[in-house]
Amino acid sequence: MSKTIAEKILSSKSGKDVRAGDIAEASVDYVMVNDITGPAAFDEFEELCAPLMRDRVVLVPDHYVPNKDVASAKQAKRMRDFARKHAVEHYFEVGSGGVCHQVMIEEGFAAPGRLIVGADSHTCSYGALGAFATGIGSTEAATVFARGVLWFKVPESMRFTVDGELGRHVMGKDVILTIIGDIGVEGALYRSMEVDGTSVSALSLSDRITISNMGIEAGAKACVIPPDGKVRDYLSGRVRGSYDVVAADADAVYADSREYDGADIVPVVAKPHLPSNVAPASEVGVEIDQAYLGSCTNGRIEDLRVGAEILKGRRVKDGVRMIVVPASKKVMEQAIEDGLVKTFMDAGAFVSGPTCGACLGGYMGVLAPGERCVSSTNRNFVGRMGDKDSEVYLASPAVVAASAVAGRVADPSEVVG
């Protein structure tokens, strides 16, 4: 019987022939925790009195980096002390890493055929490289720290095929928001999404990461894009160890299959307060107080280049704050080298070092009551980026930059033609 990518990877990692609905105890390649989820995992692990699988553990402080108060400083110290005590090799101190998911990809942990878990829901990002990657809780992470294995219920899979040439200013964010707008925030609940087609294969790896990153916003356990030459080129000289490319069988069975014409996809936004509340950017037009470009969803160099191209020679509209946050130290360095930081600053934007702060409403861009933000992040729930009476409109880097110039949610063509 033929298999989906999820079934193949979980069969390989469990050493058994498993299918959707089966329970598999599978060997995990890497487990990642951040400064928010790590301390609870450390407590649970110490209770187990077991040796640490240190070659599989990755620690990345990123949510409150740099620390915003004493409480966050204590969390960061817990991670630092744990790394020192257990001689954790893969610890990325402030100034050497960045947003955890970008670090996992940049530093070669994510690769085709791997099984990766992380105590953060957007761990599904690594599916863009052909891995089965999923978010777990801190207690589960502690189990992997000690044993290197975890049990999974093998998910059913859904297939999403997007064919055709995407229009100007249409990015991966528009593709995944269109899909989520179609199926809803529970449309892929505990299923693995497989996303393919000529539109997807034409996208950069950065745009594909955006698609996989937001699979969880449809409830997906994982969101996998079949790896190709772009993935192999990216991993050359970067990947840690060897890897095996896994592809679905031609006659694999899917719980649902949907097809989209790439030519029909336009720049969109997800209006408050769900990622599924999708509308064309050209039809929204609400005035904004803040524009945010960054996060694990859209903080890569390709995203910054798109934003800078729109902002070059233009100004952020009076009364609007624009915040730009590269997703890692490496992205920041490239943005400086490319002159993007100067472009952003010349346009009146504020540029920060890598942090998750604004995305989760922690700091570095918190919204006041009644304020609206157009954001390249992944969630727009009530109070996500600040006060419960604020509003977040999710959008691509192109829409974020165009909206910053227009002072309202805008299609990029309204600003640059």
Task: List the CATH number of the domain containing 354.
Answer: 3.30.499.10
Q: What's the whole-model pTM score?
A: 0.96
Count of the separate structural domains present in the chain: 2
Cite the beta strand spans of 376-416 per DSSP E: 391-395
Distance CA 122, CA 297 (A): 9
Instruction: Average the pLDDT over 212-223 and give the result.
Output: 97
State whether 329 and 294 are in the same domain. yes
Q: Is the pLDDT of residue 363 over 80?
A: yes
State whether 167 and 280 are in the same domain. no
Predicted pLDDT of residue 273: 95
Instruction: Annotate 97-119 with DSSP letters as a single string.
Output: -BSHHHHHHHTT---TT-EEEES
State whether 225 and 103 are in the same domain. yes
**Structural domain containing residue 304:** 268-416
Backbone angles phi, psi at 331, to 5 degrees: -65, -40
3-state secondary structure (DSSP) of residue 90: strand
Q: Is the pLDDT of residue 1 over 90?
A: no
Predicted pLDDT of residue 417: 78
Q: Which of 85, 123, 86 is nearest to 104 (CA)?
A: 123
State whether 308 and 341 are in the same domain. yes
Point out the domain boundary residue: 260, 294, 329.
Answer: 260
State whether 313 and 357 are in the same domain. yes
Predicted pLDDT of residue 10: 98
Q: What is the largest CA-CA distance in the chain?
A: 62
Please check whether residue 186 is in contact with residue 219, taking contact to mean a CB–CB distance below 8 angstroms: yes
b/e per residue 155-165 (b: at least 16 CB within 10 A)? bbbbbbebeee
Distance CA 417, CA 401 (A): 14
Point out the domain boundary residue: 237, 260, 283.
Answer: 260
Instruction: Calculate the CA 210 to chain-centre distance.
Output: 6
Amino acid at position 111, single letter: A
State whether 71 and 37 are in the same domain. yes
Predicted pLDDT of residue 314: 97
Distances (CA, A) of 346 to 69, 312, 316: 31, 8, 9
State whether 100 and 227 are in the same domain. yes
Q: How do residues 123-181 score in pLDDT, each as one tens digit?
A: 999 999 999 999 999 999 999 999 999 999 999 999 999 999 999 999 999 999 999 99
State whether 273 and 405 are in the same domain. yes
Point out the domain boundary residue: 229, 260, 291.
Answer: 260
Q: What is the mean pLDDT of the chain?
A: 96
State whether 172 and 284 are in the same domain. no
State whether 239 and 275 are in the same domain. no
Q: How do residues 286-335 score in pLDDT, each as one tens digit?
A: 999 999 999 999 999 999 999 999 999 999 999 999 999 999 999 999 99
Predicted pLDDT of residue 100: 97
Instruction: Average the pLDDT over 203-225 and give the result.
Output: 98
Cite the beta strand spans of 8-110 per DSSP E: 23-27, 30-34, 57-60, 90-91
Q: How do residues 80-133 score in pLDDT, each as one tens digit?
A: 999 999 999 999 999 999 999 999 999 999 999 999 999 999 999 999 999 999
Q: How do residues 58-82 score in pLDDT, each as one tens digit?
A: 999 999 999 999 999 999 999 999 9
Instruction: Annotate 297-341 with DSSP letters as a single string.
Output: HH-SHHHHHHHHHHHTT--PPTT-EEEEE-SBHHHHHHHHHTTHH
State whether 248 and 300 are in the same domain. no
State whether 245 and 290 are in the same domain. no
Distances (CA, A) of 122 to 91, 119, 217, 318: 19, 9, 9, 34
Q: Which of 416, 410, 275, 290 is nearest to 350 (CA)?
A: 290
